[in-house]
Amino acid sequence: MAFKKIESKIGFAELALSSSMDKNRTLRTLEQMNKVIDWTMIEKILKKYYKVGFSAEGADAYPPLMLFKCLLLQKWFRIPSDPELESQINDRISFKKFLKLPFDMPSRDYFTFSKPAPLDLIDKNL
């Protein structure tokens, strides 16, 4: 098992929407976030605790950084539920670009966001 390969390629839809994307304030804000935040450092921390993608068994796992960014979008934009998060990712250009998700690739199923954290990630002191 490994992590799912998500190819970032420019498709017809992205070319057709490129002029309107220049005027998308949410997209500009999220692109700025991508520039300011050191995602490689965060990804290293996530992979330290995210055991799913390193087993030889089962289907490929979703990259932990992508899932983390999905949760950030949910908090930042006050999205009330996991099914609504899935819908918003599928609907919003800015979200897809922030997640580096090709326009022709659907969002993760909402259940992916709803799965409980593994026991070794839960702080025993809480």
Q: In order along the chain (126 residues), what is the average pLDDT of each group of 10 residues?
A: 56 62 84 93 87 63 86 94 91 90 76 56 47
Would you say residue 1 lies in a domain?
A: no
Cβ-proximal residues to 81 (8 Å cutoff; 6+ apart), any chain? 110
Q: How far is CA 106 from each of CA 90, 92, 97, 110, rounded to the nearest angstrom? A: 6, 11, 13, 11
The verdict on residue 2 lying in a domain is no
Bridge partners, 11 (sequence order): none
Tokens for 28, please give them: 């500009």
The residue segments making up the domain with residue 59 are 12-121
Q: Tell me, what's the pLDDT at 121? A: 47
Residue 3 resides in a domain: no
Conformation bin of residue 100: beta by default, left when phi > 0, alpha when psi is -120 to 50? left
Q: Is residue 83 part of a domain?
A: yes
| 56 within a domain of the structure (yes/no) | yes
- The pLDDT score that the predictor gives to residue 14 is 64
User: What's the rounded Cα separation, in Å, for the pair 93 and 117?
Assistant: 29
| In a domain? residue 126 | no
For the chain, the domain total comes to 1
Is there a contact between 80 and 15 (Cβ–Cβ < 8 Å)? no
Name the DSSP class of 103.
T
The answer to the question of residue 29 being in a domain is yes
Q: Give, for 45, the enclosing helix (H) or strand (E).
A: helix 39-49
pLDDT of the residue at 54: 60
pTM (global) more than 0.85: no
Q: Tell whether 79 is covered by a domain.
A: yes
Strand, helix or coil for residue 1: coil
